[in-house]
Amino acid sequence: MRPLLILFLLITTAVYAQTPPKPYGALPTKRQLAWHDIEVYGLIHFTPTTFENKEWGFGDADPKTFNPTAFNADQIVKAAKAGGLRGIILVAKHHDGFALWPTKTTSYNISKSPFRSGKGNLVKEVEQAVRKNGLKFGVYCSPWDRNNALYGTDKYLAIYQAQLKELYSNYGQLFMSWHDGANGGDGYYGGAKEKRSIDNTTYYDWNNTWGITRKIQPMANIFSDIGLDIRWVGNEDGHAAETSWATFTPMAPDGKNVAVPGQANYPQSPEGIRNGKFWMPAECDVPLRKGWFYHPTEKPKTPETLFDLYLKSVGRGAGLDLGLAPDKSGQLHADDVAALKTFGDMVKHTFTNNLAKNAKLKVSNTRGAKYSANTLLDNNKNTYWATQDDVHEATITISLAAAKTFDIISLQEYIPLGQRVETYTIEVFENNTWKKVYDGTSIGAKRLIKLDAPVTTNKVKISITQSPVCITLSEIGLYKKTN
């Protein structure tokens, strides 16, 4: 070959090697990427229903019953923050229809209660405490309204949309707009006390209603059982399936595609759908106690249980949304504060010390210097190791300077380029041989693998065994669970 040709080939290979891999499948939006960073957040339920000791208010509670003796948004938010929560969604109106802000849309609101002598705005107080403590804020405004006399008629939608507009316009940037599929039934309805049913495929005109969300709050992730941005995981137990895809195609049980909540393919919600049409990661919502509202006889989950749920939600590429229920005083019970703090410390203490930090990495293939193995341990999820386009299987060997004991392995894909890896195995070097400790399927935003028992070794091998395209991984880690 002529020298010039060789030079040309060398340059093109080098340039090619530095071009990023092509994206694969459905991709996250900027809004969803910001949501993935939050990982754990809270959902506060606190309305007249708290004072009735119920889970679903009928819509007939006297506003005067809403009378917390010591409401303190800062106490709630600080406890959440100590638990590692990075966002708070406030239920601004639950199914009982009582609005926690002085809305113009219904007289059934906080101004009719003794709270701050009828001058209070609980949404504002929570929002301010949330921002002061550096968390993100979101709202949940129930479409079903068991108080409103007009619910079920064609006049209600305008009221609901006006409520959303008020919430979207006066409380700064929201990270989530949370919607559920609860859709009519019996209620007070202005005194009618009857059963009202609606056709949930048309009644809320979700296309246009969520158009309002997009227009006023473009960074708010819309949550419902079908997405649009974040899908319900399909249970209220707080975990995704072991195999967990961020991609999804909402479908009704009859297999038809749908675009309204309340009809999604729940059987596939915990796992997601490989090569689904949309990037629509799961939110695992679960109350800290048994119910979403405070009940004196219930107790918060133990920190161990919460840690396990963390591994099975965040550790499966999903989000963990923890229900927080202030008691009648308007604060979180001391038991809840303690459980959150111990859980938060567990997560912090476990994951601050990546035992692989100074390890030597050997990878079987690399795309070029920019995508080298060093990117796997720089604690920056925007840098990533990638293989060449035609390399869909690869190994990473982690060599530690001295043997370490760990029981959690963490893997992260570079999700701006999609969810790519399908299967992988993890082996540890023990008694002079490689021993398989895990057979894995999906990775996604984050995969936390908890081993049955801690292992002590100085060598770990991660083998990506199946991917339809070249591999990207942004971070890896070895951790020892620490209380």
Footprint of ligand FUL on this chain (CB under 6 A)?
43, 56, 180, 182, 285, 292
Which residue number, 43 or 476, has a Cβ lying nearer to ligand FUL?
Answer: 43
**CB-based closest residue to Ca ion:** 383
Closest CA to 241 of 87, 444, 416, 452: 444
Choose from ligand FUL, Ca ion, none: what does 242 bind? Cβ within 5-8 Å by kind. Answer: none
Choose from Ca ion, ligand FUL, none: what does 383 bind? Cβ within 5-8 Å by kind. Answer: Ca ion
Choose from Ca ion, ligand FUL, none: what does 182 bind? Cβ within 5-8 Å by kind. Answer: ligand FUL
Distance separating alpha carbons of residues 246 and 230, to the nearest angstrom: 9
Residues 6+ apart with CB under 8 A from 210: 222, 228
Residues 440-479 that bind Ca ion (CB under 5 A): 474-475
Which residue number, 374 or 405, has a Cβ lying nearer to Ca ion?
Answer: 374
Count, residues near Ca ion per rule CB under 5 A: 6
Cα-flanking dihedrals φ and ψ of residue 186, to 5°? -80, 160
Choose from Ca ion, ligand FUL, none: what does 285 bind? Cβ within 5-8 Å by kind. Answer: ligand FUL
In the complex, least distance from residue 288 CB atom to ligand FUL, rounded to whole angstroms: 12
Choose from Ca ion, ligand FUL, none: what does 292 bind? Cβ within 5-8 Å by kind. Answer: ligand FUL
In the complex, least distance from residue 383 CB atom to Ca ion, rounded to whole angstroms: 4
H-only helix segments in 269-379:
303-313, 334-351
Distance separating alpha carbons of residues 183 and 203, to the nearest angstrom: 10
Instruction: Give SS3 for 391.
Output: coil
200 binds Ca ion (CB under 5 A): no
Residue labelled with tokens 């002085």 = 102
Cβ atoms of 406 and 454 within 8 Å: the answer is yes
Which residue number, 21 or 300, has a Cβ lying nearer to ligand FUL?
Answer: 300
Among residues 243, 305, 383, 395, the one that binds Ca ion under rule CB under 5 A = 383
Both tokens of 389, joined, read: 């386009």
DSSP-assigned beta bridge partners for residue 187:
194
Distance separating alpha carbons of residues 128 and 109, to the nearest angstrom: 20
| Element spanning 165, H or E | helix 156-169
In the complex, least distance from residue 91 CB atom to ligand FUL, rounded to whole angstroms: 6
Largest CA distance in the chain: 91
Segment contacting Ca ion by CB under 5 A, of 21-29, 236-244, 346-354, 381-389? 381-389
Distance separating alpha carbons of residues 169 and 34, to the nearest angstrom: 21
Choose from Ca ion, ligand FUL, none: what does 427 bind? Cβ within 5-8 Å by kind. Answer: none
Among residues 236, 242, 335, 378, the one that binds Ca ion under rule CB under 5 A = 378
Which residue number, 183 or 383, has a Cβ lying nearer to ligand FUL?
Answer: 183
Give the DSSP per-residue string, 8-64. Answer: HHHHHHHHHHHSPPPP-SS---HHHHHHHHH-EEEEE--SHHHHHT-SS--S---GG
In the complex, least distance from residue 213 CB atom to ligand FUL, rounded to whole angstroms: 18
In the complex, least distance from residue 135 CB atom to Ca ion, rounded to whole angstroms: 25
DSSP-assigned beta bridge partners for residue 396:
363, 462
Choose from ligand FUL, Ca ion, none: what does 180 bind? Cβ within 5-8 Å by kind. Answer: ligand FUL
Which residue number, 84 or 287, has a Cβ lying nearer to ligand FUL?
Answer: 287
Provide the mask over 331-370, with x wherever binding to Ca ion is found by CB under 5 A and - wherever it is not: ----------------------------------------
In the complex, least distance from residue 145 CB atom to ligand FUL, rounded to whole angstroms: 13
Both tokens of 197, joined, read: 């049913």
Closest CA to 152 of 124, 118, 92, 193: 193
In the complex, least distance from residue 474 CB atom to Ca ion, rounded to whole angstroms: 5
In the complex, least distance from residue 232 CB atom to ligand FUL, rounded to whole angstroms: 9
Residue labelled with tokens 């035992």 = 355
Closest CA to 278 of 256, 247, 317: 247
In the complex, least distance from residue 205 CB atom to ligand FUL, rounded to whole angstroms: 20
372 binds Ca ion (CB under 5 A): no
Segment contacting Ca ion by CB under 5 A, of 248-256, 286-294, 376-384, 446-454? 376-384
Residues forming contacts to Ca ion in the complex (CB under 5 A) are 375, 378, 380, 383, 474-475
